[in-house]
Amino acid sequence: MPEIINLGALQLTFLQSKDDTAGSLDLFEMTLQPNARMPIPHYHDRWDETIYGLSGISTWRIDGKDIDVAPGETVFIRRGLVHSFTNRSHRPATCLCMLSPGVLGPQYFKEMAALLTAGTPDPAKMKETMLRYGLVPVLQS
């Protein structure tokens, strides 16, 4: 049964995790509400990420370039590339996200959800959680 994780303006529906696939992949559907975004540009060097648009349009900033992903379109984020994302539209946008190999699982997102729902998010705790799971935050100038 899919596991749903609510991160406020982002909702994840985990379909497969590293635990289900012997570490082969993590697969989840992500819905971004209007103006939702990943505010911390980051990279990871242990997995690649593939995004497939299902509805609406999400914008992925990858290695300094903005790429719009509409339904039926895809973008590949090679490990090591700095990226973030946003939904600039007035409608929700949904995409399918695949991490290969699977190293995150739903636990990372559950921990981030707990930090976000605990009131004002503590940037130091968010950074520590990201680093512990292999996401490296990058300050943009």
> d(Cα 34, Cα 107) in Å, to the nearest integer?
25
Residue partners of 37: CB distance under 8 A and separation at least 6:
9, 84, 85, 86, 87
| pTM assigned to the model | 0.92
Give the chain's domains with CATH numbers.
3-136 (2.60.120.10)
Distance of CA 15 to the CA centre of its chain: 14
* pLDDT by residue, tens only, the chain of 141 residues: 688 999 989 999 999 999 999 999 999 999 999 999 887 899 999 999 999 999 999 999 999 999 999 999 999 999 999 999 999 999 999 999 999 999 999 999 999 999 988 777 788 999 999 999 999 999 765
40: phi > 0 → left, psi -120 to 50 → alpha, else beta; which? beta
